[in-house]
Amino acid sequence: MYSELSDDDKEMYLDVLREAPILPFSNFVSRGDIPDKIDISRPRSFIDREVYRLVRQTYRDRSSRLIPILGSAGTGKTHAYHSFKDKERENRKELKETAESEEIDTSQLEPTDWTIIYIPSPPASIRVLLHVYTCIIEDVGPEILDIVSEKLVREKWGGKKGGLFQKPKIEEIIQKGIREFPGVFADCVKALVTYQLDKSKKALAERWLLGEDLQPEELSELGINSVVEEDDVCLAMIKIITENLDRVLILYFDELESPYRMLGEAAERKFLEILKRLYNEVKGLVIIIAVLKEIWPRILEIADPPLRSRMEPEEELKPFSLNDLKIFFSKSMETFWEDNNLNPPLYPLFPLNEKLIEIIYEKTQGNPRNSIKLCRRFIDKVVTEEMSVEELLEASATIVATAKPPRREQEEEVVDFSKPREVIKKTIEEILAEEEYVIEVNPSSVAGATLKSIIKAGEEKNKDFDTQMEYKFMMGKRSQTLAALIEFGGKKWGLEIPSIKTFDRSAGVAGYYAAKRLKDAIDEKAIDSAILIVPAGSSGAKFESILENNQQIHKVELTNESGESLIASALTYPSKEGWEIARIIFPDIGEYTPPQVEEPSEDSEQ
């Protein structure tokens, strides 16, 4: 094998593999925040063409579109986003070059500017519009505020300077803006005008526009009564941005089944309602929803007829062909060698060979994730000298016996969605379990996992209780929202989490505002007691004072690590953190007992 490679060359390449901190094919689950280096576009080419067609249509008529992309576990739903992101960069570069040359090739389609934004579907349908808005701002960057405010304030509402000493009158500009965007848009208009024209308050207005919590006196200084966190205000900002941005925004909702997976049909239905609202009320969007193929019939059943009728025909991600897999393997290895400052070996499939790649393809039927796993496993065997390539060829059937290849098309297990829910529930859960989800510790995932842990613990101990996501109550004339409500034993418990990005640092002022929402709900008799979940170490004079004076609010601290444990365990059996939170509501459920771990059978791993 590889007879034309000298022994020294073979040993050199194998030494590099042995000493590498990360072996090739180690990352078999795509993440929205980490680009994938290698893309094989052929299996997805028909989806690409359809998406670009919708983008061009939306660019022309500004009408929003919605297209579902289906795929089984491991077929590259998250990876598809990264490929679109790469195309966006190429398109932006071409647009810039075209603008600089001032030449347009009439044989080509009209130039279309677009940006794709990754939106991980929140496991709990809580403050989803704020989640979408935050993803837009983070992806495009705060400069989006400059683009939109410049166009509106300076160009449309007359905010340009008339001369050296003639400054535009801010109040007059605000009133012009409110005439175009009245009602719930008013505070958005005030913030954009202040951001563009008032240097002394620009930073304050920017904080409001970025969704940060402001003190009451700071809101008063801006002349603003609302916060971006409120659904109607958040939607108003999204509408203003999309209507005044000269490009199409593609919103890529990944793992659409996440709310269903964590909290069932009610959560998924609520999430779909928000998607419908975005589709109906916002211009210039192409909404992509990536969802597990096997769960799609259930999602369609949950969606209402108006939403179903507005969807484009669904497109399905295809597996690798054998040739795709060979190209993917060779490109991945070439990148690895280049990263290690080496010319690639003569044989592009080294340290495996064509026959082994064919075996991998046969075992996985071209499923990208399973193929990557087996490539890694085979390389590991060769590099550690556990087996030679020849021995691998003989033993491959045994080595991959524990891998779970996707069923062939004709053998695919069909879920009969016409059967009663309890009959198909187990099958759905098994399908969802095949997908490997990336755990992100953020307010939505923590809220969803906490509520699921409470439900699991309550059901195990036969408690009679009710839960509700996103519980709204009135504070004077304003509507306030808590993450969830739990009713048990004639008592109402509110659950709240600060509007923060991560749990790896203090909640800051957001912690105080979350505690204040709970206090307001208690004062208005909307709830009796509350659970506030904050990052470990959250502090501050006002935060600590409000907790000291409101003993009905129970503070729970989580680190990023304990948050991961809470989320990872929620679907099967609560983690210790989840159990302790449930004990606050159900005091008599006893101490936490870890679930028994089944011992693997002797022949489960060869």
Which 3 state secondary structure label does DSSP give 164?
Answer: coil
Instruction: Write down the pLDDT at residue 258.
Output: 86
For residues 159 and 72, what is the distance between their CA atoms, to the nearest angstrom? 52
Instruction: Write down the pLDDT at residue 391.
Output: 76
pTM, whole model, 2 decimals?
A: 0.82
Question: 211-254, pLDDT tens digit by residue?
Answer: 887 877 888 999 998 888 888 999 999 999 999 988 999 999 99
Q: Is the pLDDT of residue 260 over 70?
A: yes
Question: 545-557, pLDDT tens digit by residue?
Answer: 999 999 999 999 9
Higher pLDDT, 35 or 282: 282
Residues paired with 535 in a beta bridge: 558
Instruction: Write down the pLDDT at residue 494.
Output: 97
Instruction: Write down the pLDDT at residue 589.
Output: 95
Q: Is the pLDDT of residue 75 over 80?
A: yes
For residues 123 and 268, what is the distance between their CA atoms, to the nearest angstrom? 9
Q: Is the pLDDT of residue 428 over 60?
A: no
Phi and psi at residue 321, to the nearest 5°: -80, 170
Q: Is 91 exposed, middle or buried (0-12, 13-18, 19+ CB in 10 A)?
A: middle
In whole angstroms, what separates CA 81 from the centre of its chain? 11
Instruction: Write down the pLDDT at residue 60.
Output: 93
* Protein fold of 443-585: Trna Endonuclease; Chain: A, domain 1 (3.40.1350)
Q: Is the pLDDT of residue 335 over 50?
A: yes
Q: What number of CA atoms fall less than 13 Å from residue 584's CA on the CB side?
A: 26
Residue 351: asked if its preceding bond is cis (omega within 30°), the reply is yes
Instruction: Write down the pLDDT at residue 478.
Output: 75
Instruction: Write down the pLDDT at residue 480.
Output: 85
pLDDT band at 105 (very low <50, low <70, confident <90, very high): low
476 to 28, 236, 472: CA distances (angstroms): 51, 22, 13
Q: Which helix (H) or strand (E) holds 556?
A: strand 553-558
Please compute the mean of the pLDDT values over residues 555-577 and round it to a whole number.
92
Q: Is 592 exposed, middle or buried (0-12, 13-18, 19+ CB in 10 A)?
A: middle
Instruction: Write down the pLDDT at residue 602.
Output: 44
Residues 6 or more apart whose CB falls under 8 angstroms from that of 167 comprise 161
- pLDDT, the chain, mean: 85
Instruction: Write down the pLDDT at residue 510.
Output: 85
CA angle 233, 237, 239 (to 5 degrees): 115
Please compute the mean of the pLDDT values over residues 594-603 and round it to a whole number.
61
Instruction: Write down the pLDDT at residue 421.
Output: 42
pLDDT band at 65 (very low <50, low <70, confident <90, very high): very high
Q: Is 161 exposed, middle or buried (0-12, 13-18, 19+ CB in 10 A)?
A: exposed
Do the beta carbons of residue 117 and residue 133 sit within 8 Å?
A: no
Instruction: Write down the pLDDT at residue 417.
Output: 43
CA angle 140, 210, 172 (to 5 degrees): 105
In whole angstroms, what separates CA 340 from the centre of its chain? 32
For residues 358 and 426, what is the distance between their CA atoms, to the nearest angstrom? 34
pLDDT band at 46 (very low <50, low <70, confident <90, very high): very high
Of the given ranges (214-218, 412-416, 571-575), which has the lowest mean pLDDT?
412-416
Q: Is the pLDDT of residue 170 over 60?
A: yes
Of the given ranges (74-88, 93-107, 196-210), which has the lowest mean pLDDT?
93-107
96 to 83, 90, 241, 280, 543: CA distances (angstroms): 20, 10, 22, 32, 49
**Would you state the torsion angle of the CA atoms of residues 3, 7, 10, 14, taken in this order, to the nearest 10 degrees?**
140
Instruction: Write down the pLDDT at residue 597.
Output: 64
Please compute the mean of the pLDDT values over residues 559-565 and round it to a whole number.
92
pLDDT band at 375 (very low <50, low <70, confident <90, very high): very high
Give residue limits of the domains in the chain.
42-97+114-138+243-314, 166-238, 320-402, 443-585
Q: Which class in CATH covers the domain with range 42-97+114-138+243-314?
A: alpha beta
The phi-psi region of residue 459 (left if phi > 0; otherwise alpha if psi is between -120 and 50; otherwise beta) is: alpha
For residues 81 and 169, what is the distance between their CA atoms, to the nearest angstrom? 44
CA angle 278, 282, 288 (to 5 degrees): 50
For residues 317 and 315, what is the distance between their CA atoms, to the nearest angstrom? 7
Instruction: Write down the pLDDT at residue 405.
Output: 46
DSSP state letters, 59-92: HHH---EEEEEEE-TTS-HHHHHHHHHHHHHHHH
- Among the listed residues 240, 215, 244, the one whose alpha carbon sits nearest the alpha carbon of residue 227: 215
